[in-house]
Amino acid sequence: MLRRLARSDAPELPAFSRALADWGDLAPLVKALPPARRHAFYRAAQEGRGAGHVTIDAIILAVLPRSCVAEEARRMAAVAREHGAHWSSLLLAESFLPVEEARERLVEATRRPAAEDRAEAWPLLIRNAARSGDHAAVTSVLEEMGRLRNEQDPVRSAALDALSRVRPALFTEDAEPHLDRITADAVEARDSSAATRHNLSDLALSVLREHAAGGRRELVNWALRTLVR
């Protein structure tokens, strides 16, 4: 129904989209549009609302085309910064920026003193690399994840949950040593939880399904070892 409405070009559609923006429910309608129309439609829905109504909407950012998502993320972050938004809100917007623009701040956030802050920051760092579609960026984050060895399990589990959702095609054989170390550290930690081990199993199954027929022997062997730990 939303798709039919979004593609109908009904004269009431602009007013309806602005009302949805006021209610915070615009994302499903934007997603129902063809990707090429989403950004212009979203901008039209924001017209006349004023900077005070701009919120950091990760769902909107996730459905916008890659060609314009950085522009919107910068705009949302700038407005939020002007209004004194919490650091985590700013970081959420910045996590949609290109890796080279956001990585330093994201990595810095994974070193914050409070464990709950680090548990929030690690998934943002991982998703930022995954959204780039760059194998090297993903491998670089895996290398960074070596620091999880000394983390508390809630932080480790949050990071591994995000990692288990990364497209498995983004893992190359260069990633295998890092995956192996991350797995060993997580399983051998004294506070290792069922949630952490479940996330590792999900990751291993994802990698196995992707690479079993593709000849990436190192990744397949890692996945099999992980599943029997």
Residue 139 CA, chain-centre distance (Å), reads 15
Find the range with the poorest average confidence among 83-92, 100-109, 164-173.
Answer: 83-92
pLDDT at residue 10 greater than cutoff 80: no
Do 110 and 121 form a contact (C-beta atoms < 8 A)? yes
pLDDT of residue 20 exceeding 80, the answer is: no
Instruction: For the chain, give the mean pLDDT.
Output: 90
Q: Which among 7-16, 23-32, 53-62, 206-215 has the top mean pLDDT? A: 206-215
Condensed to tens digits (0 to 9), the pLDDT of residues 134-152 reads 999 999 999 999 999 999 9
Which has more confidence, 90 or 12? 90
Would you state the pLDDT for residue 33? 82
Amino acid at 150: N
Question: CA–CA separation, 69 vs 49, rounded Å?
Answer: 20
CA distance 94 to 105: 8
pLDDT at 133 over 70: yes
| CB-based contact 163:204 (threshold 8 Å) | no
Decide: 195 and 217 in contact? Cβ < 8 Å.
no
Q: What is the pLDDT of residue 53?
A: 53
Look at residues 112, 103, 175, 114 and name the one whose alpha carbon lies nearest to residue 139: 175
Q: With 60 as the cut, is the pLDDT of residue 229 above it?
A: yes
- Rounded Cα distance, 153 and 190, in Å: 9
The closest alpha carbon to 91, from 60, 131, 121, 132, belongs to 121
pLDDT in tens, 44-80: 887 766 555 557 889 899 999 988 999 999 998 998 8
Residue 3 pLDDT more than 70? no
- pLDDT for 8 beyond 80: no
pTM of the model: 0.89
For the cut 80, the answer to whether the pLDDT of residue 21 exceeds it is no
Residue 26 has pLDDT above 90, yes or no: no
**Residue % of the chain over a pLDDT of 70:** 87
Q: Residue 5: CA atoms inside 13 Å, Cβ hemisphere, count?
A: 14
Place of tokens 């399990």: 153
CA distance 46 to 41: 9
Residue 133 CB neighbours (<10 A): 12
Q: Are 12 and 48 in contact (CB under 8 A)?
A: no
